[in-house]
Amino acid sequence: MFELLIAVLFFWLFFKALGLALKLTWGIAKVLASALFALALPLLLVCLFFTGGLLILVPLGLVALAFGLLKICL
């Protein structure tokens, strides 16, 4: 009976540790993704500007602005 109790406690502790590990890695992944996004977005805009992608970016920005204005008005 004691062996069964120890086995149940071991499995309970294992699943608690697994849950904690998943929570920690998810938090770290969110922080890393936020930092990567914050660094990548300005770099993307600079690269688009210098490679002539600005010609594509301006109409897309105008369309996004139009959708934004329509969303605010409705």
What are the tokens at 71? Answer: 């969303």
Name the residue type at position 13.
Answer: L
| Angle, helix 2-50 to helix 54-73, in steps of 10 degrees | 110
Rounded Cα distance, 16 and 26, in Å = 15
pLDDT of 41 strictly over 70: yes
User: Average pLDDT for residues 25-52, to the nearest whole number?
Assistant: 76
Q: What band does 26 get if pLDDT is binned at 50, 70 and 90? A: confident
Domain regions of the chain by residue span: 2-73
Count CB-CB contacts under 10 A for residue 19: 10
Rounded Cα distance, 43 and 49, in Å = 10
